[in-house]
Amino acid sequence: MITRHKPSLARALATLALAVAPCALVQAAVIPPGTVLSARQEMVRNNGSEPESLDPAYIESVPAGEIDRDLFEGLTSTDHHSNVVPGVAESWMQVDPTTWVFKLRKNATWSNGTPVTAEDFVYSWRRFLDPKTAAKIATTYAVYLANGMEVVNGKKPVTALGVRAIDAQTLEVRTAGPVPFLPAVVSVAQYGPQPKAVVEKFGKDWTKPGNIVSNGAYVLKDWQVNSKVVVEKNPGYWDAANVQLTRVTFLCVEDGNADLKLYQSGEEDYLYQLPPGSYNAIKAQYPKEVRIGPLLGLRFYALNNEDPLLKDLRVRKALSMVIDRNILSEKVTADGQAPLYGLAVKGLGSIQQTRYDWADWPMDKRVAEARKLLADAGVKPGTKLKFTYNNSDYHKKMAIFAASEWKTKLGLDTEMDSLEFKVLIRKRHDGDFQVARHGWVATFNDATLFLALIQCGSEVNDQRSCNRKADELIVQGNAATDPAKREALLTQAARIAMDDYPIIPLLQYSVPRLIKPWVGGYDEANGMDRYRSKDFYIIKH
């Protein structure tokens, strides 16, 4: 999943716990006392790519989600510290393990004046998960709601979905099994409300400027495909008093170097991501404007557990042991990514990181052990290994590094197969690979998202690995009501699963960016990398 989150450490665990009463969590831009704001509160921000849609039911990518979270506010939201904060719902309660009740605020309105009611959410969620809507990402989120999967698969009608409006301001949500992190789930853009009357009136064109009606901090002003999306402050928004930016322009530049040039010539205030390999040079050039922080994402290589060469655990272990992740992190990628020796990334909710015992051995010892494993498995030097990755300079570098490690340390010949992205994912899904490049980023902060990678039969388990004991522990963990117990069980599950070496974990993603010094509100510790425009403000400069 290429969605992005950053960890908010222990705070995330606390806020994702059971009954959450609304704390005095700040809703919008936290402006340090004494900051002088600029008279002109406008920002130009590169969003990384052209959104595939602005309809909450159809969005899949992170960039589209970022724009939609400005336009449509869901029951909950996440702020710039990636904390879950109240959105349209001002409070919520978990009345039993699988039932939650959300209380909506009375002053939440659409930009055309009509109030936002619980019925809006019922309509929107049903529409999102209705198979007739054909939302590709519906399955990912349906799994949390009661009857969600049945509805998506067409086995039950949409009215069976576990969401019900008790009255205009009260929404009852029933989940399929205990979902302790439900407030985080419903903060995603896909669970945002949709204006029924507008959708029905305009059909496919309802998201065009002029037709669209939104309930978020911003309204859509202009949308030029492949050029920019412009949003302006929504005066009717319930928290408008705390929204500083009056106008935000989202650019869709994909090329890192083009992005950098726009930043350097002053055409934008916020660079999406530094071009690969440039971090050190840019850090030297713009020391105060470079921001970097860990992302809740895992870079790894998927190993086809059913492949004749790789089905022996010893071979998989050997391949993983010899890769020097320190060099990978410091020299090859050189952009602040931390080496990983386990499934969980730092800051991921409800799980502790695990680490292989050999991670601290000197490399010579690791290589010797790996060679022994290969010999025991009957793999001779000169054996060919096929490595599949999608063409991009970044992945190419990492791939060449891995191939060189396997060659020099184990004598294996790696055949490099660089493919177009769509072809790569097809091959991965179909199991047509030996070693394939893969990456996984969290959409919201919970361990189950990563555990899905190694669960038996999971649709994102491309490597076809299976460890029944780990699966059992995951089920137990999700049923646990005590967060500490849950964490322990999930950690144990990850450890057991990873001892089978289904994948080769490499690095934790980082987000190196450039932000102009007059933009306030950015938090490098935001492991989810989701920012609402209402959290930013422009300092006088």
Partner 1 sequence: MSATLPVDAAPAGRSPWRDARVRFMRHRAAVASVFILALIALACVFGPMLLPNAFDSVDWNLMSAPPTRAGWHLFGTDELGRDLLVRTLIGGRISLLVGVLATLVSVTIGVVWGAVAGFAGGRVDSAMMRIVDMAYAVPYLLIAILVVTVFGRDILLVVAAIAAFSWLDMARVVRGQTLSIKSREFVEAARAIGVPTWRIIFQHVVPNLMGVVVIYTSIVVPGVILSESVLSFLGLGVQEPMTSWGVLIHDGAAVMGATPWMILFPAAALSITLYCANFIGDGLRDALDPKDR
Partner 2 sequence: MWAYVVRRLLVTIPTVLAVVTLCYVLLHLTPGGPFDAERKVSDAVLANLQAKYHLDLPLWKQYLYYLRDLLHGDLGASFRYADWSVNDLVARALPVSLAIGGTAMAVAAVLGVALGIVAALRQNSAVDIGVMLVANIGSVLPSFVLGPVLVLAFAILLPLLPSGGWDDFAPRYMILPIALLTLINVSTIGRIMRGSLIEVLSSNFIRTARAKGLPMRIVVMRHALRPALLPVVSIIGPLAISSITSAIVTESWFSIPGLGKLIVNGASDRDYTLVLGLVVLVTVMAVLLNLLVDLAYAWLDPKIRY
Name the residues that contact partner 2, by CB under 8 A: 1-2, 50, 52-55, 58, 60, 131-140, 152-154, 204-205, 207-208, 224-228, 251-255, 257-258, 261-262, 264-267, 420-423, 425-426, 429, 459-460
498 binds, among partner 2, partner 1, none (CB under 5 to 8 A by kind): none
Q: What is the rounded CA–CA span in Å between residue 130 and residue 245? A: 36
x/- mask, partner 1, residues 313-352, rule CB under 8 A, reads --------------x---xx--------------------
Cα distances (Å, whole numbers) of residue 334 to 278, 294, 402, 507: 8, 13, 15, 11
Contact criterion met (CB below 8 Å) for 108 and 190: no
Nearer to partner 2 among residue 143 and residue 377 (C-beta): 143
Residues paired with residue 96 on neighbouring β-strands, in sequence order: 99
Helical segments of 41-137, H only: 62-71, 118-129
Which one of partner 1, partner 2, none is in contact with 22 (Cβ closer than 5 to 8 A by kind)? Answer: none
Backbone Cα Rg of the chain: 24
Nearer to partner 2, 411 or 439 (CB): 439
Interface pick for partner 1 out of 191, 218, 401, 531 (rule CB under 8 A) = 401
Residue of 513, 56, 47, 61 lying closest to 250 (CA atoms): 47
Report 411-440 residues binding partner 1 (CB under 8 A): 416-420, 423
Count of positions on this chain that bind partner 1 (CB under 8 A): 25
Per partner kind, with CB cut-offs from 5 to 8 A, the member of partner 1, partner 2, none near residue 165 is none
137 touches, from partner 2, partner 1, none (C-beta below 5 to 8 Å by class): partner 2
Burial 126-153 (b: 16+ CB within 10 A, else e): bbbbbeeeebebbebbbbbbbbbbbbbe
Task: Quote the CA–CA distance of 347 and 447 in Å, as a whole number.
Answer: 10
Quick note: the x/- pattern for partner 1 over 138-157, rule CB under 8 A, is --------------------
The secondary structure of 199-247 as a DSSP string is: HHHHGGGGGSTTT----SSEEEEEEETTTEEEEEE-TT-TTGGG---SE
Apex 3 CA angle, 336 and 356, nearest 5? 50
Nearer to partner 1, 348 or 398 (CB): 398
Q: How far is the CB of 435 from partner 1 (least distance, A)?
A: 14
Question: Pairing relation of β-strands 247-251 and 42-46?
Answer: parallel
* 519 bridge partner residues: 538
CB of 53 to partner 2, least distance (A): 4
Closest CB to partner 2 among residues 2, 160: 2
Q: Which residue of 281, 338, 375, 475 would you call a contact of partner 1, by CB under 8 A?
A: 281
Whose Cβ is closer to partner 2: residue 85's or residue 158's? 158
- CA distances to 29, 37, 209, 292 from 33, in Å: 12, 11, 37, 25
Q: Restricting to residues 228-257, which ones interact with partner 1 according to CB under 8 A?
A: 256-257
Closest distance to partner 2 from the beta carbon of 126 (Å): 15
- Token pair in block for residue 170: 């009260």
From the CB of 43, what's the least distance to partner 2, in Å? Answer: 15
Among 14, 400, 452, 460, binds partner 1 (CB under 8 A): 400
| CB-nearer residue toward partner 2: 462 or 471 | 462
For the chain, percent helix, then strand, then coil, each to nearest 5? Answer: 35, 20, 45
Choose the one of partner 1, partner 2, none that binds residue 131, judging by a C-beta under 5 to 8 angstroms depending on kind: partner 2
435 binds, among partner 1, partner 2, none (CB under 5 to 8 A by kind): none
Q: Which stretch binds partner 1 (CB under 8 A): 114-122, 216-224, 307-315, 395-403?
A: 395-403
CB nearer to partner 2: pick between 99 and 458: 458
Contact present, 538 and 521 (Cβ < 8 Å)? no
* Both structure tokens of 251: 């650019």
CA angle 505–510–516, rounded 5-degree value: 175
Residue showing tokens 């919520």: 92
Among partner 1, partner 2, none, what binds residue 224 when CB lies within 5 to 8 Å by partner kind? partner 2
Within 10 A of 477 (CB to CB), how many other CB atoms are there?
Answer: 24
Residues 297 and 165: their CA atoms lie apart, in Å, by 36
Q: Which is nearer to partner 2, 161 or 253 (CB)?
A: 253
By CB under 8 A, tell whether 397 contacts partner 1.
yes
Dihedral angle over CA of 474, 477, 479, 483, nearest 10 = -150
Pick one of 178, 277, 411, 483: the residue that binds partner 1 (CB under 8 A). 277
Tell me which of partner 2, partner 1, none is bound by residue 417, counting a contact when its beta carbon lies within the kind-specific cut-off of 5 to 8 angstroms: partner 1
Between 90 and 417, whose beta carbon lies closer to partner 1?
417
Judged by the rule CB under 8 A, the positions of this chain that interact with partner 1 are 256-257, 275-278, 281, 327, 331-332, 390-391, 393, 396-397, 399-401, 404, 416-420, 423
